[in-house]
Chains A and B, each alone.
Chain A
Amino acid sequence: DAGVIQSPRHEVTEMGQEVTLRCKPISGHDYLFWYRQTMMRGLELLIYFNNNVPIDDSGMPEDRFSAKMPNASFSTLKIQPSEPRDSAVYFCASSFLGNTIYFGEGSWLTVV
């Protein structure tokens, strides 16, 4: 079975550019999570969705960050404009109800 699929795996972009990260959750899962991982702050939950509806976005750092889930099989995390401090590994993860959360391979973002 396919796991959580993220793209791109690696992205290098210039400060001020728009960045879009994409995620396809595991089929049948009704929860989708976006995490960010940095050396300084560890793993942070940015936002999560239940049945395509954003439930808690309190972890989204600034208005520059936005996330959407137009359907059960696709979600995006957008950063506009990007800044060097946004450089991190961004994980998408999904689960069915309160069961095990499965992670994608992550998107490495570098903003120069």
Chain B
Amino acid sequence: AQTVTQSQPEMSVQEAETVTLSCTYDTSESDYYLFWYKQPPSRQMILVIRQEAYKQQNATENRFSVNFQKAAKSFSLKISDSQLGDAAMYFCAYRSRLGDSNYQLIWGAGTKLIIKP
């Protein structure tokens, strides 16, 4: 069974600085998706970034980028130029792409990101 681990329950960063959130996962599959979702105090679950395992190039969305290390099963999120609005819980998630999978999301426990003004 697949597992996702976020080892940092909480991180803090100064506004405008860069922060990296860690995520590791375990799977025997070769084809899958990895996601970072953001959940602000409003509790809405917002997709931040997506990585397809077969793509070697790291995904980037504006100030958000990932460091995807498939062999090491690592998927960290880097937030550049941190803004107050980035304060939220960040969840790492895994989803199989196998045709016979149930397509469930496997979630990490989350990392609370605090932005210091």
Contact = CB atoms under 8 A, between A and B. Distances in A.
B68 interface: no
Interface in B63-117: 91, 95-98, 101-105, 107, 109-110
Contacts of A55: 102
Contacts of B44: 103, 105-106
B11 interface: no
Contacts of A98: 33, 95-98, 101, 103
Interface in B21-58: 33, 35, 37, 42-47, 50
B47 to A, nearest CB: 6
Contacts of A106: 43-45
A42 B45 contact: no
Contact of A103 (B33, B45, B50, B97): B45
Interface string A84-97: 00000101010101
B102 A101 contact: no
A101 B35 CA distance: 9
Interface residues on A, range: 20 to 34
Contact of A108 (B43, B47, B96, B110): B43
B47 A56 contact: no
Interface residues of B, number: 23
Contact of A102 (B47, B95, B102, B103): B47
A52 to B, nearest CB: 15
B44 to A, nearest CB: 5
Contacts of A56: 102, 104
Contact of A42 (B35, B98, B103, B109): B109
B110 A42 contact: yes
A48 interface: yes
**The 6 A-B residue pairs with the shortest CB-CB distance in the complex, in nearest-first order:** A103-B45, A98-B103, A105-B44, A98-B97, A89-B43, A106-B43
Interface of B: 33, 35, 37, 42-47, 50, 91, 95-98, 101-105, 107, 109-110
Given A45-B104, A103-B45, A105-B44, 9 more contacts: A42-B110, A43-B107, A45-B105, A48-B102, A48-B104, A95-B103, A101-B35, A105-B43, A108-B43
